Amino acid sequence: MGICDGRVVIITGAGRGLGRAHALAFAAEGAKVVVNDLGATLDGQDVEGTPAQEVVGEIEAMGGEAIVNGDDISDWDGAGNLVQSAIDTFGGLDTVVTNAGIVRDRMFVNMTVDEWDAVIRVHLRGTFCPVKRAVEYWRAEAKADRQRAGRVVTTSSGAGLMGSIAQTNYAAAKAGIAAFTINIAAELGRIGVTANSIAPSARSRMTEGAMPEMMAKPESGFDAMDPANISPIVVWLGSEQSGHVTGRMFECAGGELSVADGWQHGTPVDKGARWEPSELGKVVDDLLAEAPTPAPVYGTQ
C-alpha cells in the first residue's frame, strides 16, 4: 500500500530529470501517472527522442499504470487535452505537478525578447494552463458533490526566490510561479484543493550545464544531487496526507528540506503627512539598517 494508492497524477516535463523521478516515485506509491513530455531539447527549440514513452515503460515494468501525453502544456487546448486524457483513461484527476521548463540563459543586456517570451511561456503559462484546466474539473466535481482532494505542486527555483545572474527571464518566471502558487492556495481551499511549490536543487539538464562540478555524481556515498531525492516531498504534497498544508514553498536538496519564507511587511515609519524628497535619505537609511539583509543573488558570490 502506498500513500497515493488509486490517485491519478499528471506530471509535466516528466520524461527526464526531476519529472522522471517524480513519475517513478508516484507510481511506486500506487498512483496512476500521466507522463507529459514533448521530448524537447533544453532550449525548447527541437525534439530529441521519446523520453515519456521510456518512463511509461519503466512504470509498467514495476507493475504500475501510466500513459504518455505529448501535448504542449503552454497551449490552452493542449492543456485541456492533457487533463482530459487523465479523466478518460483513469476516471478522474487528483494531482497536478508542473515541472516542465526550458532555459535561454543570457546576461540581461544581451537578452532578446524572443528569449524572454520563450522562457516565460513554458514556465509561467505552462503552469497556468494545466492547473486552470484541472481546477475547472475539480470545481465541477465539487459542485456535483464529488469533491476530490485536489493537489497542485508547482516548481519554482532558488533563482525565482533569490535571483540568478544571467537568468533574468528564468528568475522572473520562477518568481511568478511562487506568487501564482500562494495566490491560488488562498482561493481554492473552499473546493478542497491545496497548492504548494518546491524550489529544488538537483541534477538536471539545466543544472549540469550551469554547475557541472556541483552536480557531478560522486564515486561513492550519498548522491546529494540525485533528482530522486526531491521526489518524496512532491509525492507527499500530492497525496491526501498533505491536506493541511497549502500556500507554502519548500526548498529541497539532497536530504535537506526547509520552508522558505517570502516577503514580509517591514516596520513602518509614519510621518502622518506627505514626505519631502529631501527628508527621505535618512529615513530610508534607518529603515534599511533595521531590515534583514537580503539573501545574495545566485552568481554574485
- Provide the strand spans (E) within 70-150: 95-98
Q: Specify the pairing of strand 95-98 against strand 65-69.
A: unpaired
Cell numbers 519631502 correspond to 276
Among residues 170, 201, 231, 239, which one is catalytic? 170
Q: Mean pLDDT throughout 199-216?
A: 68
The number of CA neighbours under 13 Å toward the Cβ of 214 is: 12
**pLDDT (tens digit, 9 = 90+) per residue, 105-139?**
999 999 999 999 999 999 999 999 999 999 999 99
Residue 137 bears catalytic tag:
no
Any domain includes 217: yes
Q: Mean pLDDT throughout 56-60?
A: 97
Cell numbers 511587511 correspond to 265
Q: Which three cell numbers stand for residue 161?
A: 526566490
Q: Range with the lowest mean pLDDT among 70-84, 96-110, 196-210, 279-293?
A: 196-210
Any domain includes 23: yes
Q: How far apart are CA 56 and CA 278, in angstroms?
A: 65
Q: Which three cell numbers stand for residue 182?
A: 500562494
Q: Domain range for residue 20?
A: 8-260
215 three-class SS: helix
Any domain includes 298: no
Q: What is the DSSP string of 260-298?
A: EP---PPPP---SSPPPGGGHHHHHHHHHHHSPPPPPPB
Identify the pLDDT of residue 211: 59
The per-type count for the chain, helices as H runs and strands as E runs, is: 11, 8
Residue 298 bears catalytic tag:
no
Give the strand order in the sheet containing 151-155: 65-69, 32-36, 8-12, 95-98, 151-155, 194-201, 249-253, 256-260
Other CB atoms within 10 Å distance of the CB of residue 37: 28
Q: Do residues 121 and 38 lie in contact, with contact meaning Cβ atoms separated by under 8 Å?
A: no
Any domain includes 297: no
Q: Which three cell numbers stand for residue 117?
A: 517570451
**pLDDT (tens digit, 9 = 90+) per residue, 21-50?**
999 999 999 999 999 998 755 554 555 558
**pLDDT (tens digit, 9 = 90+) per residue, 159-191?**
999 999 999 999 999 999 999 999 999 999 999
Residue 157 bears catalytic tag:
yes
Among residues 156, 157, 164, 197, which one is catalytic? 157
Mean pLDDT across the chain: 93
Beta bridge partners of 203: none
Among residues 174, 201, 231, 242, which one is catalytic? 174
**pLDDT (tens digit, 9 = 90+) per residue, 70-80?**
999 999 999 99
241: domain CATH number is 3.40.50.720
Any domain includes 292: no
Q: Which three cell numbers stand for residue 201?
A: 536543487
Any domain includes 170: yes
Question: How many structural domains is the chain composed of?
Answer: 1
Any domain includes 280: no
Q: How far apart are CA 116 and CA 276, in angstroms?
A: 38
Cell numbers 499528471 correspond to 10
**pLDDT (tens digit, 9 = 90+) per residue, 239-268?**
999 999 999 999 999 999 999 988 899 999
Any domain includes 45: yes
Residues 6+ apart with CB under 8 A from 103: 42, 43, 119, 167, 170, 206
Q: Do residues 198 and 127 lie in contact, with contact meaning Cβ atoms separated by under 8 Å?
A: no
